[in-house]
Structure 1
Amino acid sequence: MSSSENKRIAKNTLFLYFRMFLMMGISFFTTRIVLEHLGVHDFGIYNVVGGMVSMFALISAALTSAITRFLTYEIGNGDKQSINDTFSASVSILLLLVLIFVIIMEPCGIWFLNNKMQISPNRIIAAHWVFQCSIVTFGINLISIPYNALIVANEKMQAFAYISLLEAALKLGVAFMISIPIFDSLKMYAVLLMIVAILVRYTYGRYATAHFQEIKLHICMNIDKFKELLSFTGWTCIGGSASILNNQGVNILLNVFWGTTVNAARGIALQVTTAVSSFSSNFMMAV
């Protein structure tokens, strides 16, 4: 590995660690404010109900890694048409996954929410708001994956870090806004986080289309490309599914047996776990 490559990896790693440390600080502070304004029970509801959907974010991370791998390979080959086909095929696959996810989660998630989870009857409507907003948020984040992967594959870690910090800052603003007593705080929190996801998705899309002009979204009919992407991402999702059962599966069991107060404590613990695991994952992203 040449000296210039080592320097590039070090530079990208520094950007990602700079992003990570700032996001950790903002995230911990945001959690404290949200817990204060929502209260223990509503905070627990958001963690377990939103977690039923956000647990699939681990699959999003696996898909980002897989799609980045394919885009990086095509960028190395320098074939612009192949890069464009890979990007468009990725978007098509993720749109299909969003459709499947919604079809499965709407009936199954609502049934489980109404019949199995320990939530106060007077907060069940708010819990449904959280669930629906979380589904929309997850779908938006899933569709953003090819744009995120394109930025990472082109090693634009500075932009990736800045957009992530914008997202953290917007979430901090949401935490302060729910203190205004104009609407149910839990419902307002879910809706505002959904709006933040839409804004961040728009920012990633605008950056990618402005800086990578060779990317033109189109209907990709390359069957071999679809098979290759689906095969690799399918195996990648198996590891992500195991992590889901390890993290959020426990959260659901805690709710079934002990209720939302324990979920609130678990939510704070997961914040710390995520922060610690970020040290290794950010370095691997740069490599």
Structure 2
Amino acid sequence: MKPRVLSQLKKGALLNYVTIFLTNVIGLLMTPFILNHLGKNEYGIYLTVGALVGTISLLDFGLNNTTIRFVAKYKAEKDKKGLENFLATTMILYSIISTIVIILGAIFYNYIDSYFTKMTPEEIEIARVIFVLLIFNLAIGLPGGSLTGMCYGYEAFVFPKALNIVRYLMRCLTIVAVLSFGGKAIALVVIETVFNILIISITAYYVFKKLKIRIKLHEFSVKFVKHIFSYSTWIFVFALVALFQWKAGHWVLGRVCTPEVLTIYGIGILLGTYYGAFSTAISSVFLPRATQMSVGNATGEELTSMMIKIGRISFIILMYILIAFIFLGRQFVNLWVGGELGEEGSYESWIIALMIMVAYTLPLIQGFGNSILEAKNKLSFKAILYLSFMIIGTATGAFLAKPYGAIGMMSGSISGWLIVQNVMNFYYHKTIGLNIIRFFKELLNKTCLALLIVVGLSYFVNYIPGDGWVNFVIKGTTYTVAYGLIIYFLGMIDFEKELFKNSFKSVLNKVNKK
């Protein structure tokens, strides 16, 4: 691999982790600030209309990821004409998609008041303005996103990722300034629109002036269009799955509940997605390893061994977060957004986030399994299974939402997740050849006893007298030290202890060099 490309990959990976860290930490700080300035009703409208427009973004049909693949292919083949023609074809497709987005937006605009039945006339007007702005964002954002795909296809990772970080920081600063001077939800969407236009313009300059990419239609072929969509089909299906996982609840609750309930649900979802980011950052690194092992015809037992190694590391990290959230999470959410949501609202958000974390834990621990499926080109079964049960889960949640509100909606949704993961374990075992029984035995080896001790200790830590942030920090610090010591001496195997020691030594060496 060329040094420049290797450098781009390393720097791109580093910027990925920086992005995850920033979005999680700054997101935690920004959420109560935004909620406090908008109020829970307007914040709920902002979240729900965003989720609704996010549904229309599915019309991308996976073309963005497809762009990365085809650009890389034509570049590797040094087929300049083929690349120009592919990009011109996709831009025609994006023009058609953007036109459809605007038409669908215009149609739904006339039904906003009849869809959001629990909103006041003033709230409906806010929803209308936000909806129009977000539809415009989507119409320009879909083709604009393909520019980033072109950068990735050219293995130019640093510029778009660095630009995304700058955009995130500048956007946050602008939001703080605008809300401090009295801005509301509409102002947030205007900020988003301005930044979208700027980022698309800057990326376009980089793509066409620096990378020297040209777009030219040499031949329009329906057969070629079919070929493009045949690749993007499963990407589209997984986008549908994510939609039902994270956004479908907003559609249902937007129809039957007040904006306040939408805010409670949205806060719970937000915390649940932060939980997943920690493990995904680990498992995503191992896709190349899964591909190498699959290409090298690794046995099921060899793949299982790798899955156990990665799974145990994820498990130790996730259990630290989950146990802390079980015992200290209610206090945290109450301190974090309780002033805006009230005690009952923050309690419901905590329950929703906890439900997501519990249901999400096993899929995250077995994230390497998904890498194996991708490497073996066997994602179709999982895609269809997930989509089917996400739809069933959403329907169940819709049935429970009327009597039980946001908690009822989430109960239905996670029922689909839990069923799917159990079915997937049979699939891994019978079809892929992974030894799932061995996986669970070795996953719980030593960690089971250590975690039981941690749970018992955490129960008493929770009773340290006092309240407020100082009390929470004392509890959190006590829990963290106890968890670290118990897991290290009782829960880790030799490989994990060595990994921890080497990481610690590496950090010390870097500090000493400085």
Work out whether the TM-score is over 0.5: yes
- Aligned equivalent of 1:207: 206
Amino acid at match of 1:28: L
1:1-287 maps to which residues of 2 (within 5 A)? 9-57=9-57, 60=60, 62-111=62-111, 113-117=112-116, 118-176=118-176, 177-181=178-182, 185-213=184-212, 215-219=213-217, 221-223=219-221, 224-278=223-277, 280=280, 283=284
Compared CA separation, residues 30 and 273, structure 1 to 2 (3 A): same
Q: What's the CA shift for 1:187?
A: 2.1
Please give the alpha-carbon distance, in whole angstroms, between the structure 1 residues aligned to 2:286 and 2:152: 8
Amino acid at match of 1:88: A
8 Å CA contact 1:9, 1:286 repeated in 2: no
Please give the alpha-carbon distance, in whole angstroms, between the structure 2 residues aligned to 1:202 and 1:103: 25
Please give the alpha-carbon distance, in whole angstroms, between the structure 2 residues aligned to 1:206 and 1:4: 21
Please give the alpha-carbon distance, in whole angstroms, between the structure 2 residues aligned to 1:4 and 1:158: 11
Q: What's the CA shift for 1:267?
A: 2.4
Please give the alpha-carbon distance, in whole angstroms, between the structure 2 residues aligned to 1:127 and 1:276: 30
Q: Which has the larger displacement, 122-131 or 240-249?
A: 240-249
Of structures 1 and 2, the one scoring higher in RCO (CA 8 A, sep 6+) is 1
How many correspondences in the alignment?
283
The 3-state SS of whatever aligns with 1:178 is helix
Compared CA separation, residues 53 and 93, structure 1 to 2 (3 A): same
8 Å CA contact 1:179, 1:185 repeated in 2: no
Q: What's the CA shift for 1:73?
A: 1.2
8 Å CA contact 2:8, 2:158 repeated in 1: no
Q: What's the CA shift for 1:234?
A: 3.9
Return 5+ residue gaps in structure 1 as ranges. Answer: none
8 Å CA contact 1:88, 1:218 repeated in 2: yes
Return 5+ residue gaps in structure 2 as ranges. Answer: 289-514
RMSD: 2.9
Compared CA separation, residues 238 and 16, structure 1 to 2 (3 A): same
Please give the alpha-carbon distance, in whole angstroms, between the structure 1 residues aligned to 2:130 and 2:149: 28
Q: What's the CA shift for 1:166?
A: 2.1
Amino acid at match of 2:65: S
Please give the alpha-carbon distance, in whole angstroms, between the structure 1 residues aligned to 2:35 and 2:110: 25
* Structure 2 length-normalised TM: 0.50
Q: Which has the larger displacement, 221-230 or 274-283?
A: 274-283
8 Å CA contact 2:17, 2:281 repeated in 1: no
* Structure 1 length-normalised TM: 0.86
8 Å CA contact 1:56, 1:244 repeated in 2: no
Q: What's the CA shift for 1:161?
A: 1.6
Compared CA separation, residues 82 and 8, structure 1 to 2 (3 A): same
Please give the alpha-carbon distance, in whole angstroms, between the structure 2 residues aligned to 1:180 and 1:5: 45
Please give the alpha-carbon distance, in whole angstroms, between the structure 1 residues aligned to 2:24 and 2:67: 26
